[in-house]
Structure 1
Amino acid sequence: MDEHFVWVTTRRIKPGALEDFERAWRPSSHPHGMLRAFAYWSEDGQEVTGVSFWDSRQACDSWRASDAEKQRRVAMAPYVVEEREGFYRGGELSLSSV
């Protein structure tokens, strides 16, 4: 199994603030070491989960400590009610037919 380094953040958004949140949420530049990123929205638009894949834990930590990320979090703050986040290691599961 190929190992991946994954950062997952789930944010509950204030009602009606999804468009403003999305503008603040997108980074202004591609973070060094980020390989891929995905975003998932709840049907009611009040919860957003971001999943990003990194080449190392150090690359993710470096981005999270950067001024660009700090500015992005300040810009998002007026639209966020709650935030949960975590760093994980793992890989893709192989599904076989039974």
Structure 2
Amino acid sequence: MEEHFVWVTTRGIKPGALADFERAWRPQPFPHGLRRAFAYWSEDGHEITGVSFWDSKESCDAWRASGEEKRRRDAMAQYVVEEREGFYRGGELSIPGH
């Protein structure tokens, strides 16, 4: 199994603030070591989960400690009502018949 390094963040978003949150949420520049990123929204637009894949835990930690990430988090803060996050290691599960 190929090992992946994944950072997952789920945020509760203030009602009606999803579009503004999305503008603040996109990193600029994109982080060094970021391989892929996905975003998933609840149907009501009040929650968003971001899943980012990194080349190592160290590259993720470096981004998390950077000034760019602090500025991004500060810009998002006005739209967020709650946040849960964590770093994980793992891989894709094989599904029989696929």
TM-score > 0.5 by shorter chain? yes
CA RMSD of aligned residues (A): 0.4
Aligned length: 97
TM-score, normalising length from structure 2?
A: 0.98
How big is each residue's C-alpha offset from its partner over 1:42-73, in whole Å with a ceiling of 9 and x where there is no partner?
00000000000000000000000000000000
1:84 paired with 2:97, answer: no
Q: Give the Cα separation in 1 of the matches to 2:7 and 2:15.
A: 25
Flag structure 2 segments of 5+ consecutive residues without an equivalent.
Answer: none
SS of corresponding position for 1:24: helix
1:74 aligned partner: 74
Q: Percent sequence identity over matched residues?
A: 77
After the TM superposition, which parts of structure 1 deviate over 6 Å for at least 4 consecutive aligned residues? none
| Aligned-residue offset at 1:28 | 1.1
1:27 aligned partner: 27
Q: 1:1-98 residue pairs with structure 2 within 5 A?
A: 1-97=1-97
SS of corresponding position for 1:70: helix
Flag structure 1 segments of 5+ consecutive residues without an equivalent.
Answer: none
| Aligned-residue offset at 1:30 | 1.3
TM-score, normalising length from structure 1?
A: 0.98
Q: Give the Cα separation in 2 of the matches to 1:49 and 1:22.
A: 12
